[in-house]
Amino acid sequence: MEQVFGCLVRFHVLRVLLNFLFHGASMSELDLCALIEDFGSEEKCRRYLERLRWPNGVVCPTCKSKKISRIAERNQFDCDSCRYQFSATAGTIFHDTHLPLWKWFLATYLICESRKGMSANQIKRMLKITYKTSWYLCHRIRHTMITVAKPDLDGTVEVDETFVGGKKKGFGMKAAKAAKEVVIGIRQRGGELRFFHAADVKSGTLAQYIRENVSKHVDVLVTDDFSAYHGAMKQIGFSAKHRTINHSKKVYVVGDIHTNTVESAFSPLKRGIVGTWHRVSAKHLSAYLDEMCFRFNNRKNDFLFRDTMLKLINSSNLEYKKLTAEVRDAA
């Protein structure tokens, strides 16, 4: 508690710094002051998670009974029907966490609000926690940002590819050969953005991502004049709907034919990787891409923080062992 309020003054200074870092990104309805006011104690955080988890009153996770007694001194509940004792965070991603909840709340807020993402190192410094704790915390928050439901994209859809990582500068085809990672971007104009970490930019690979994400009834598919797109469109029967913009001749817009909306989403990704994460290993790239897409697709969502907390409280625990087995080389 004292720690929290001790931090309050420092946070006012931090806020100025954060505004600078976010380059004027929307601070939505919840700014840092409101966050501290609303969630500045373990009790406030716990009550908030309770309300998110059980909006219609506490329910026993074992027998679903609603006859529950609160054991206030232990922050637990006792089921009157089956005598099971549980807490608001039992079985969730917060299960067994040794971190104070307010640090979870603050880290989630920072990750939601920073347009280019935030590195584990930065969270470590801001929350005064170890790098290992910060890395694990960031990955668990990021893990909940994976969008499960992916309806087909429709209308006008732009597809483009870019290359990230590696030591050589540049993002063209030559750079791809210099061991950079391929990211395919697909964006419905006025709609959702999706990024994928792809093995290569061959026709078959491009065709697979387009087939899996774009509706058969799409109006128009726009790409640049990279030859593999022609092969890809042929494979999936989209050639008649395919329009290209001739980037190799420095033409970028012809009427409605351009790939500017998907390209504009690549720039925070590249800045994020260069400026925030510094080094993203190939193993982690998909997780970072999911985080970027989640934030991008929610950039106008005034309730992004609440919605992310909702995802966290409804996610099951992600053990450190399991996470490090999936992504062994921590970035």
Task: Give the Cα separation of 327 and 138 in Å (integer).
Answer: 13
Q: Sketch the per residue contact string, 49 through 78, with Zn ion: x for CB under 5 A, - otherwise.
A: -----------x-xx-x-------------
What letter does residue 94 receive in the DSSP assignment? T
Q: Of 305, 327, 323, 281, which is closest to residue 137 (Cα–Cα)?
A: 323
**8 scored as a contact of Zn ion (CB under 5 A):** no
Task: Give the Cα separation of 142 and 12 in Å (integer).
Answer: 26
Residue at 217: amino acid letter: H
Contact between residue 295 and residue 112 where contact means Cβ atoms under 8 Å apart: yes
State which residue, 84 or 226, has the beta carbon closest to Zn ion: 84
Q: How many beta carbons lie within 10 A of that of residue 198, not counting itself?
A: 16
**What is the nearest approach in angstroms of Zn ion to the Cβ of residue 76?**
13
State which residue, 70 or 216, has the beta carbon closest to Zn ion: 70
State which residue, 64 or 278, has the beta carbon closest to Zn ion: 64
**246 scored as a contact of Zn ion (CB under 5 A):** no
Q: Sketch the per residue contact string, 206 through 245, with Zn ion: x for CB under 5 A, - otherwise.
A: ----------------------------------------
Task: Give the Cα separation of 132 and 121 in Å (integer).
Answer: 10
**What is the nearest approach in angstroms of Zn ion to the Cβ of residue 91?**
13
**79 scored as a contact of Zn ion (CB under 5 A):** yes
Q: Of 287, 19, 15, 265, which is closest to residue 160 (Cα–Cα)?
A: 265
State which residue, 56 or 248, has the beta carbon closest to Zn ion: 56
**Got the DSSP string for 254-267?**
BTTB--HHHHHHHH
- Total residues contacting Zn ion (rule CB under 5 A)? 8
State which residue, 92 or 244, has the beta carbon closest to Zn ion: 92
Q: Of 73, 72, 75, 6, which is closest to residue 36 (Cα–Cα)?
A: 6
By 3-state DSSP, what share of the chain in percent is helix, strand and coil, each rounded to 5? 50, 15, 35
Contact between residue 153 and residue 214 where contact means Cβ atoms under 8 Å apart: yes
**What is the nearest approach in angstroms of Zn ion to the Cβ of residue 66?**
9
State which residue, 1 or 82, has the beta carbon closest to Zn ion: 82
Tell me the C-alpha to C-alpha distance, in Å, between residue 228 and each of 168, 234, 247: 24, 10, 14
**What is the nearest approach in angstroms of Zn ion to the Cβ of residue 167?**
57
Q: What is the dihedral of CA 265, 269, 274, 277, to 10 degrees?
A: 160
State which residue, 82 or 254, has the beta carbon closest to Zn ion: 82
Of the candidate residues 54, 84, 252, 320, the single one contacting Zn ion (CB under 5 A): 84
**What is the nearest approach in angstroms of Zn ion to the Cβ of residue 79?**
3
State which residue, 12 or 64, has the beta carbon closest to Zn ion: 64
**What is the nearest approach in angstroms of Zn ion to the Cβ of residue 60?**
3
State which residue, 63 or 253, has the beta carbon closest to Zn ion: 63
**What is the nearest approach in angstroms of Zn ion to the Cβ of residue 80?**
8
Contacts 24+ apart (CB under 8 A), 47-52: 48/309, 49/88, 49/89, 49/94, 49/101, 49/309, 49/313, 50/88, 52/306, 52/309, 52/310, 52/313
**What is the nearest approach in angstroms of Zn ion to the Cβ of residue 316?**
19
**What is the nearest approach in angstroms of Zn ion to the Cβ of residue 47?**
21
Residues lying near Zn ion in the complex (CB under 5 A):
60, 62-63, 65, 79, 81-82, 84
